[in-house]
Structure 1
Amino acid sequence: MKRIVYTILFFILLSNVSFAAKVDTVSVFSPSMNRDIKTVTILPADYDSKKEFPTIYLLHGYSGNYSDWVNKAPVIKELADRYSLIIVCPDGGFGSWYWDSPVDPAFRFETFVSKELVSWADQNLKTRKGREGRAIIGLSMGGHGALYLAFKHQDVYGAAGSTSGGVDIRPFPLNWDMAKRLGSYAENSSLWEENTVINLTHLLTPGSLEIMIDCGTSDFFYAVNEELHDKLLLRNIPHTYLVKPGAHNWPYWTNSILYQILFMNEYFKKAESAS
């Protein structure tokens, strides 16, 4: 009941504020893939008043694209204004899972998002440089991508969030084009084992990365999120884990992003005060 009240109050506060976030779609060249990647950028209303802003990289899900978040959850524009954040939404390709595919050189989205895009943003936008000014969030395939990239690139991101994330790919060997990126599970099981988030927790040490994970109880990824939560507890890795009613859909993600971005904003404030 309290969560419902807080969410209602949050929207009441938003409704009484005038927002003017600037949304743009740009083409970011990827040297590793030798092509331009469409990317949405959201700049807060006070962009001209400060020198640097923390940045959230926001990843879409399978079959989605760079415009999903801004079109289907437009509240992110209001959140960018409210918390004075830059939000960057790259195109992750159709079923890339944000890997550098070992079997398809046309898919090098780990390199693009965690190196090329970050470099572009730091050169072209007024970002707060360093991991203390960067977070990454994603839904579904993008939830996997956000944790996968952050676990592997803790020098780049200081915080990571997954909503409805496919955090263990192994139970789904025939789904969502994963076999096209890793080869079939039957013939390439080692690649699947090496590239699933739940098997990367050994890269973490307590406090090395701020982590938030959430999933709806009616989501087909609910069980694997529970397993990841339990594994993080076993390894003594601090993290925030939120479970609430909901399925694998935009009504759930539109609500979830309120909590995710609030979490990231708290991380940014803490990191800035510590610097």
Structure 2
Amino acid sequence: MSRFKIRCAVLLAGICAALSLTGPATAAPAPNGGLTLRSDIAINARLHELVFTTPDLNAPTYVRVLLPQGYSSARRYPVLLLLEGCCNAAPQARDWTDPAKGNAEAIVGNTPVILVMPDSGKGGFYSDWYNNGHGGNPRWESYHIGQLLPWIDAHYSTVSGRRGHAVAGFSMGGFGAMSYAARHPDRFVSAASFSGALDSNDPQAVTTDEMLAYLDNPVPGSLWGPRSTQEIRWRAHNPWDLAANLRGMHLELYTGNGNPGPFNKTYDSTEGKDVHPQSVSMHNRLNSLGIAHEWHDYGGGSHSWSYWRRDLTQYLPGLMATFAHPPAQPEPFTFTAAEPRFDAYGYQVTVNRNSPAFTTLSGVTHNGFTLNATTSATVVTATRYRSGAAYQVTTSTPRGKKSQTIHAARDGRLTIPVSLGALTTNQPDIDTLIAQHSETATITIAEHI
């Protein structure tokens, strides 16, 4: 890969964060969403190349699936979604299994895991594109999370649910792995970044990410819009801003500092000046939040396949140990999103606005939750209450308390309206939004005796 492509890959990977108002974070994925398998070619006994068409992309798209040795439908296997960096021509799906690049088949060996390696565009950024307010294709997140992974679970013998799914990637794919994990923490039990650009608040990231997106569409503002006017759309996918969502997950971060190392003899500014500072920023953010993670700042190293192969090799043992003994869903949990509609761990939140603004659902247990939002909302709980039973729901806000009786639906969910002030903000800061721009409602739930 050329130095230009490498640099692009990193920064683009790093800018991170576009937000679609109707992306997968807003609703549970459909079983297939129009995804159609067009061909399945066996490269060898383990490796298959699939070609799909989907309404979320304008052209057929490739996926490589590497099955475990001795794959049998009589047992179930966990899944690792393995993501690609920027700038390579389609099909990007082939890079991780190219012996001269990822060499994943040899690295995985007899490890009992299914690898899923999809296309991602030259600079797709694992996002549903804003397209200057028009929306539409490409919708990479809707495709990968809402269509491809459910299809894999339906057509292969996989371990279902969060406990059987992980995501990892390099460069832009490192961003994608941490962004997908933070936006969908109920879908993944582990996430890893190899030389990922993980904080788009880095000033260098903006220009680079826009430049890399031009590889797929040269119209300015297509990816997430201009940063100057659409900052929240950038930050709504930014792993740094969404880091609190990663609590309870097995996490690993790998980065070099660009200096000469075992596989490079000269300084690499892409790794040293672009990716490394963003990875350090993410590491510090996780530490400040008290979120456990493995930090591999290995010193000398460049932005190249030699190091990403080593990263994958080192990640596999911890990943498989996590699959063997998956951590429980965090309880209580916290989840932050900027979409007007989102879901997490079975809870569905609809905020009464059309424009994006950060909302946080926190302290969520059977006994209630706290909601920080800029306006009123409706929260539909997970299925955890007695069907038809009556519950006293008390909402406490700065204006006082209000109690109401709500009956659980047949599926065991409560639908709770939350009245808050009609506050607005266009450029919220993730650290000060809750204190300065939103109101807090604390909801307690008790069953009537």
Common fold by TM > 0.5? yes
1:48 aligns with 2:90: no
Count of residues in correspondence between the two structures: 253
Which of 217, 221, 239 in structure 2 is aligned with 1:197? 239
1:174 aligns with 2:216: no
Q: CA deviation at 1:34?
A: 6.1
Bigger mean CA deviation after superposition, 244-253 or 28-37: 28-37
Q: What are the residue-to-residue correspondences of 1:57-76 with 2, within 5 Å? A: 57-64=81-88, 65-71=92-98, 72-76=100-104
**CA 1:235/1:76 → structure 2, altered by over 3 Å: closer, same or farther?**
same
Q: What are the residue-to-residue correspondences of 1:89-238 with 2, within 5 Å? A: 89-103=117-131, 104-170=135-201, 171=203, 172-175=205-208, 176-177=212-213, 179-205=221-247, 208-218=248-258, 219=271, 220-238=274-292
Contact kept, 8 Å, 1:23 with 1:40, in 2: the verdict is yes
Which of 17, 32, 38 in structure 1 is aligned with 2:56? 32
Amino acid in structure 2 at the alignment position of 1:119: P
In the aligned structure 1, how far is the partner of 2:236 from the partner of 2:139? 16
In the aligned structure 1, how far is the partner of 2:249 from the partner of 2:224? 27
In the aligned structure 2, how far is the partner of 1:74 from the partner of 1:197? 24
Deviations 1:147-180 (A, max 9, x none): 1001111121111111000101232212122753
Contact kept, 8 Å, 1:42 with 1:80, in 2: the verdict is no
Bigger mean CA deviation after superposition, 183-192 or 136-145: 183-192
Amino acid in structure 1 at the alignment position of 2:236: E
Bigger mean CA deviation after superposition, 51-60 or 259-268: 259-268
Residue aligned with 1:199, SS = coil
**CA 1:263/1:46 → structure 2, altered by over 3 Å: closer, same or farther?**
same
The aligned residue for residue 317 of structure 2 is 262
The aligned residue for residue 271 of structure 1 is 326
Bigger mean CA deviation after superposition, 94-103 or 144-153: 94-103
Which of 305, 308, 311 in structure 2 is aligned with 1:250? 305
Amino acid in structure 2 at the alignment position of 1:221: V
Residue aligned with 2:109, SS = helix
**CA 1:167/1:152 → structure 2, altered by over 3 Å: closer, same or farther?**
same
Amino acid in structure 2 at the alignment position of 1:95: G
The aligned residue for residue 392 of structure 2 is none
Q: CA deviation at 1:211?
A: 0.8
Amino acid in structure 1 at the alignment position of 2:225: G
Segments of 5+ residues of structure 1 without an aligned counterpart are 1-19
Amino acid in structure 2 at the alignment position of 1:97: F
Structure number having the greater helix percentage: 1
Contact kept, 8 Å, 1:26 with 1:39, in 2: the verdict is yes
Amino acid in structure 1 at the alignment position of 2:56: S
Q: CA deviation at 1:74?
A: 4.9
In the aligned structure 1, how far is the partner of 2:286 from the partner of 2:96? 28
In the aligned structure 2, how far is the partner of 1:55 from the partner of 1:194? 26
Residue aligned with 2:191, SS = strand
Amino acid in structure 2 at the alignment position of 1:113: H
**CA 1:257/1:110 → structure 2, altered by over 3 Å: closer, same or farther?**
same
Residue aligned with 2:317, SS = helix
Identity %: 25
Deviations 1:177-223 (A, max 9, x none): 27531122223222222221111113233xx2111111111113001
Contact kept, 8 Å, 2:102 with 2:308, in 1: the verdict is no
Q: CA deviation at 1:50?
A: 4.2
Contact kept, 8 Å, 2:73 with 2:156, in 1: the verdict is no
Structure number having the greater strand percentage: 2
Q: CA deviation at 1:91?
A: 0.3
Contact kept, 8 Å, 1:46 with 1:81, in 2: the verdict is no
Which structure has the greater CA radius of gyration? 2
